[in-house]
Amino acid sequence: MPSIRSTLLLLGASTVLASRKRANDEYAQRAINTYNTVTGNGSYKSSYFSPEVVPYHSIETLMVEAPDQGHESVSETFSFWVWLEAVNGKLTGDYSGVEKAWSYLEKHMIPDSKNQPGMSRYNPSSPATYAPEDDDITNYPARLVFQDGIVGQDPIAQELQQAYGTWDIYAMHWIIDGDNWYGYGQQGDGTSKPSFINTFQRGASESAWKTVPHPCWETFKWGGSNGFLDLFTLDNNYSKQWRYTDAPDADARAIQGAYFAWLWAKEDGKNLSSLASKAAKLGDYLRYSHYDKYFKKIGNCVGYQQCQAGSGKNSAHYLISWYFSWGGGLQGDWSWRIGSSHTHSGYQSPLAAWILSTESAFKPKSASGAKDWATSLERQIELFRWLQTSEGCIAGGATNSWQGHYAQPDSSITSFYGMWYDWQPVYHDPPSNNWTGMQGWGMERTCCYYYLSGDEKAGLVCQNWAKWVKANTRVSGGQIVHATNLSWEGSPDEWNSSNFNKANLNASLHGTVSAEGIDLGSIASIIKGLMWVSMKDNDQEGINLVIDVMDAIENYKDDEGYCADEAREDYAKFSSEVYIPSGWSGKNAQGANIKNGVTFIDIRPKYKQDPDWAQVENFINGGEPPRFRYHRFWGQTEIMVANGLISIYGLSKDGSSGGGSSGGSCSSSIQRQGYKCCKPGCEIIYVDNDGNWGVENGQWCGCGDGTSSASASCPKAITDQGYNCCSSCSFVYYTDSDGNWGVENNDWCDNVNINICHGIQIYIITIVLLGFTNVSCDGVYGQCVNFQDKSCRINDIYNVLKVHQIHQTIPIISLLIINPSSNPSGNLLNNIPNNTPINSPNKMLFDYVTNAVNNQTKSGQRDYVFIQIDHNYVGGPNAASEIVSHVITKVPKDQIKNPFIDFYRCRSVGKLSKDYLQVNILFPTDYKHTSLAAIDFNAQLIINAFKC
């Protein structure tokens, strides 16, 4: 029997989430204040947004990290915007910002058909032309190799086209120029903004300081005679073309934010199914990140000519790689697609894989999308375990293409499904996994998945990682000190999935803290990861550290948000050389001449007009390092989300009542699920392993000091026989002098609190049925059909049972809605003649509702009649209509709405088999004809499923 308490919440993952808004506690107010600062109180007229509603990477303009100018925006920023709006929606009840954020994500980051012409000319059997990558930037441009048999087949293009009716790619390009600072404009017009640009193109040694920014729409208007193309690839001749690159972790984060927005909105009676469908579509195309760059077979892939070209899905590593790209000719006459051979732990999202493979609202339309993500989920969790050091932090990643050109690695390099360990995947300057932000990004999603799913494998990884976080994060005097950089040594063990739980795994793999300090965005991200695992494991030590860090972050706040002082010694590289091959020359849209020997600032002369340039110039000339207080959009969001989650889940230090508490005391386990403590003197109406539960204002709350008989000890007559009492209310299969017997974990247990169990079932009817006509839940149960009243519907009981995973063989239920104006007064169920075949079943249902609602018709109310009939009862739903029409003669049969729900057809293999059910009195004669005990069981199911 499902937990009765859970029937008041939305089902599935939402049973572990709070079902109410709370916005009055300190942490909620912090989150809302941050939201208002960033978004201009929801107007998007703030220093964080452009007039075109582009969220900037930072509000400061002189900024070089992955984006090389602060008012550029990246897909990462947009994905954080979705997260920002999701949490604000839960705290305020206004989810409109989530859909608005997604609409601008589509407008600015996902190229429309006009910006990706020629995709219909794509040939999945010949996806692209091979060009080697190289660790040395001076080996660029890379020569294209026109040779058949090198590149494998694209196995998902056709099914994506069939699913969505287009060859266009639905994915975010990773970077745009928010203010058109570089001057390329959209489609080369030189003026429009934002505009698609790109930077990184030349292998692992190309840091941001060595990039040559260029337009995605290559018209040969700028650059050299071939535009910028011949800086990157060496071809026999060059065509005008467009190219885009996706950063898959951003797409995965957008899906995460959309999921929580959808889930919380559903709890609040609002419908974001359209958003869920768009996120599912994004996830479908995100599968290109699962594939080797040139669709080569995964595992021991050595030699670009020798390594086998893939067919089917043997080119899928099922991990989330560093990028995937697509492009084509400006004339629409050709196009190409590639994946990526390199994977990084910080880019993984088991959460997105779980959402896309298990949640029906987010199920991709393609034939194999959900199945692929199910495979990816398992593979990603294994990757994290393979990369986990003995200290608990997570090492770099794996590659199917050593050095980017399928080279032969050293024999000492270990592997994961034939892909080689890389401690610094993708880029080396600086090493990609030294920055601890990668710890937060990858593990926050993993531990969020653990919190929602309870996957013990993910739990093991998160628990080990949490120990590392605790050991390397300190708060003292309102200041935070944490690991900001790591160094790496050793290699993981050769991967074998059977070693997942092995003690002393990866004894020779170590991550050592090489620098400490404060990085606000990184620590907020890391703390979110710690929060998820600590909530799941009831780890108060972890919760205390979360609260301490978030409280201390308030000391880093100013009028624009959160920031910390940063001395940027790396800005000496403004004067460092950008590699340009000898003999190459051209000019960019800022008017800079590009040739061999130029520096970073030479090709970005507009930086000299920036108000912060003076201190950088002084540093280059021998002065002190420039100091900045950056307000990064993603950092503000991580802090806002962390504060919001503390409020939503009611977290507090040392188990004391958290945000929004009503003054009573209760167990920390209840509070960590997002519920408040009841007021002192509450009545205990339900008990489970989390503690004592009461109800206030139609919401569950922890009743720590209430009074009840719920704490009755398990009778000696039960324990003497080797049995325990049921941990929660269970269906009573059998009653004798010893007690009321239920079943848990395939064994008998006693319902010692049977009176409380019946009481709560009656209470559910009281708080649900009496007020249902005034409840607006159309958005929650919008999938239901054939009901007269669209303002309040009943969820399809089949779906309820399916989500609850109740695998029982039970008879048909017919639900009939009767026009209230035609109903006679009195008790409908008692009016059913005794000689009808449904008398006894409805007598059982009546037992659960009579004391609470008296089942009397009232003027202006609708009455609902539940009728149970055996599976093989002749006439089916038509017979049920005949019965009601006979009893209530004023109702024409054509006015009786009669959804027919066949529980028998949804029977599946469960813990209670057919033979077990027959032996234990539910089906005493055969598996179609129920006993009175089974009828009573069905009645309880209806009561618990009737949630509207």
Peptide bond into 141 cis (omega under 30): yes
Task: Give the largest Cα separation in the chain, rounded.
Answer: 101
Distances (CA, A) of 521 to 422, 564, 912: 25, 10, 49
Bridge partners (DSSP) listed for residue 327 = 243, 336
What would the DSSP string read from start to end of 25-80?
Answer: SHHHHHHHHHHHHHHTTTT--STTB-TT--B-SBS-S---SSSSSTTEEEHHHHHH
Residue 940 class from Cβ within 10 Å (0-12 exposed, 13-18 middle, 19+ buried)? Answer: buried
CA 809 – CA 816 distance, rounded (Å): 22
**Residues 80 and 11 sit within 8 Å (Cβ to Cβ):** no
**Residues 415 and 398 sit within 8 Å (Cβ to Cβ):** yes
* Count of CB atoms situated within 10 Å of the CB of 835: 6
705 among known catalytic residues: no
**Residues 356 and 369 sit within 8 Å (Cβ to Cβ):** yes
Residue 225 class from Cβ within 10 Å (0-12 exposed, 13-18 middle, 19+ buried)? Answer: exposed
- Rounded to 10 degrees, the C-alpha dihedral 715/719/721/723 comes to 110
CA 83 – CA 78 distance, rounded (Å): 9
Helices (H), 301-455: 350-358, 369-387, 437-453
DSSP class of 495: P
**Residues 399 and 341 sit within 8 Å (Cβ to Cβ):** yes
CA 66 – CA 174 distance, rounded (Å): 11
CA 861 – CA 585 distance, rounded (Å): 81
Cα 864 to the center of its chain, rounded Å: 38
CA 260 – CA 33 distance, rounded (Å): 20
Peptide bond into 409 cis (omega under 30): no
76 among known catalytic residues: yes
Residue 85: CB partners within 8 Å, gap ≥ 6?
95, 97, 98, 100, 101, 257, 261
Helices (H), 134-247: 157-164
Of 60, 72, 206, 249, which is the active-site residue? Answer: 249
As given in the structure block, the two tokens for residue 567 are 């001395």
Peptide bond into 430 cis (omega under 30): yes
Closest CA to 35 of 23, 18, 52, 19: 23
CA 485 – CA 225 distance, rounded (Å): 43
* Backbone φ, ψ for residue 700 (5° rounding): -70, 145
* Continuous segment of H or E residues that includes residue 465: helix 456-471
Bridge partners (DSSP) listed for residue 749 = 724, 742
CA 913 – CA 770 distance, rounded (Å): 37
Q: Is 924 left (phi over 0), alpha (psi -120 to 50) or beta?
A: alpha
Per-residue burial over 327-344, b if 16 or more Cβ lie within 10 Å, else e, is bbbbeeeebbbbbbbbbb
Residue 277: CB partners within 8 Å, gap ≥ 6?
361
Of 60, 72, 76, 292, which is the active-site residue? Answer: 76
Catalytic residues: 76, 249
